[in-house]
Amino acid sequence: MPANLINKAVIKELAAKAAGLDNDQGDARLKEVVNRLLYDVMVAIDDLDVSMDEFWAAVGYIGEAAKANELGLVVPGTGLEHFLDLRLDEAERRAGLAGGTTRTIEGPLYVAGAPLARNEARLDDGTDEGEILFMEGQVFDIAGNAVAGAIVDVWHANSFGFYSFFGPPQSPYNLRRRIETDREGRYRFRSIMPSGYGCPPGSNTEQLLTRLGRHGQRPAHIHFFVTAPGHRQLTTQINIDGDKYLYDDFAFGTRNDLIPPVERVSNAEEIHKAGLNKPFARIRFDFKLTREAAGAPNTIVHREHAVAA
């Protein structure tokens, strides 16, 4: 079947009518968005000569991915979540906001309500025999002033690449904590070094990536929300230097200034000082928050999150 069978004016009229632009009822913003999406999809179908079978296969795929609760993987895997971050970066730049820690994707595995600790916390429950990790740093504003009372909400995978509340059972809120910074803006936690993970074998996401000639692996990383009154919420993560997939993250989450050095400590005196009997790893990373500003786009994203059972 040849492409471009339908005149663009006909497509424009159909999309407008389907989006309800010919009436004054309903939600004006929703109409605007639906109209544009319908028009673009219809034009793409016509330009690319998408067959009936291809179209309905795509509809079926989206339905299956939704039933399997995989859209939270498909979105970053197709670059859309990173694209949204790039748009927000540029919107902030145009609003005169700069100097804060680089943002990156939230991902689909956040669970609200992690226990709150003051200044420091232990994230792991002691059952994972992976490499011990100490991470610490400070929260500053862009002028370099320490931000006391900031909340560093941290979550990451275990040494097998699994998150608590997802995959094989772990203790509640394992590797998840909220840490309130002290008067000097300091936070500190003990945990275990996370492993990267891949899309579930045979999953809808993996099938799509395979058809695109891509893999579904993420490098080891640690997620953060950092919040403080009067400051813009920061959503970010650090990636673990040296990981095989550091610069080949299927979710496009790696950003160059979010790769702090990892110090491997094997000195007996340092090990004893840390209260351990084996080598460990240490990471230092400071966060910089920008101030809230009138008219700037919101950084708090309202999206569906898993709920602790």
Q: Dump pLDDT digits (tens) for 14-37.
A: 999 999 999 999 999 999 999 999
Let me know whether 101 and 230 are in one domain: yes
pTM of the model: 0.95
pLDDT of 306: 85
Let me know whether 152 and 219 are in one domain: yes
What's the Cα-to-Cα distance from 18 to each of 10, 88, 122, 139, rounded to whole Å?
Answer: 12, 30, 54, 49
Answer yes or no: is 188 within a domain: yes
Let me know whether 152 and 26 are in one domain: no
CATH code at position 151: 2.60.130.10
pLDDT of 79: 98
**Spatial CA neighbour of 303 closest among 108, 165, 115:** 108
Q: Give the end of a domain, one of 28, 58, 73.
A: 73
Task: Identify the three-state secondary structure at position 122.
Answer: strand
Answer yes or no: is 20 within a domain: yes
Answer for the pair 4, 47: CB distance below 8 angstroms, yes or no.
yes
Let me know whether 107 and 25 are in one domain: no
Q: Is the pLDDT of residue 2 over 90?
A: no
Q: Is the pLDDT of residue 130 over 90?
A: yes
Q: Is the pLDDT of residue 1 over 90?
A: no
Contacts of 165 by beta carbon, 8 Å cutoff, 6+ apart: 111, 172, 306, 308, 309
Mean predicted confidence (pLDDT) in 125-137: 97
For residues 74, 79, 85 and 87, what is the CA-based torsion angle, rounded to 10 degrees? -120
pLDDT of 103: 98
Let me know whether 40 and 96 are in one domain: no
Q: Give the end of a domain, one of 73, 105, 125.
A: 73
Let me know whether 17 and 96 are in one domain: no
Q: What percent of the chain has pLDDT over 90?
A: 95
Answer yes or no: is 152 within a domain: yes
Answer yes or no: is 294 within a domain: no
Domain count along the chain:
2
Indicate if the alpha-carbon torsion angle 296, 297, 301, 302 is positive or negative. Answer: positive
Answer yes or no: is 116 within a domain: yes
Mean predicted confidence (pLDDT) in 49-53: 97
**Spatial CA neighbour of 198 closest among 221, 220, 217:** 217
- How far, in Å, CA of 62 to CA of 41, rounded? 15
DSSP 130-157: S-EEEEEEEEEETTS-B-TT-EEEEEE-
Question: Any idea what DSSP says for residue 301?
Answer: -
Let me know whether 125 and 244 are in one domain: yes
- Give me the domain span that covers residue 69: 8-73
Q: Give the end of a domain, one of 73, 108, 124.
A: 73
Answer for the pair 147, 90: CB distance below 8 angstroms, yes or no.
no
pLDDT of 294: 87
Q: Model confidence over 67-102: pLDDT tens digits?
A: 999 999 999 999 999 999 999 999 999 999 999 999
Answer yes or no: is 151 within a domain: yes
Answer yes or no: is 239 within a domain: yes
Q: Model confidence over 226-253: pLDDT tens digits?
A: 999 999 999 999 999 999 999 999 999 9
- How far, in Å, CA of 139 to CA of 133, rounded? 20
Q: Is the pLDDT of residue 155 over 90?
A: yes
Let me know whether 179 and 238 are in one domain: yes
pLDDT of 258: 98
Q: What percent of the chain has pLDDT over 70?
A: 100
Mean predicted confidence (pLDDT) in 151-172: 96
pLDDT of 135: 98
Average pLDDT, the chain: 96
- How far, in Å, CA of 143 to CA of 232, rounded? 14
In this prediction, residue 106 has a pLDDT band, given cuts at 50, 70 and 90, of very high
Let me know whether 88 and 64 are in one domain: no
Mean predicted confidence (pLDDT) in 255-260: 97
Give the β-pairing of 132-141 and 280-284.
Answer: parallel
Mean predicted confidence (pLDDT) in 53-78: 97
Residue with tokens 């992976």: 130
Let me know whether 101 and 186 are in one domain: yes
Let me know whether 180 and 259 are in one domain: yes
Answer yes or no: is 273 within a domain: yes
pLDDT of 226: 98
Let me know whether 117 and 222 are in one domain: yes
- How far, in Å, CA of 234 to CA of 89, rounded? 12
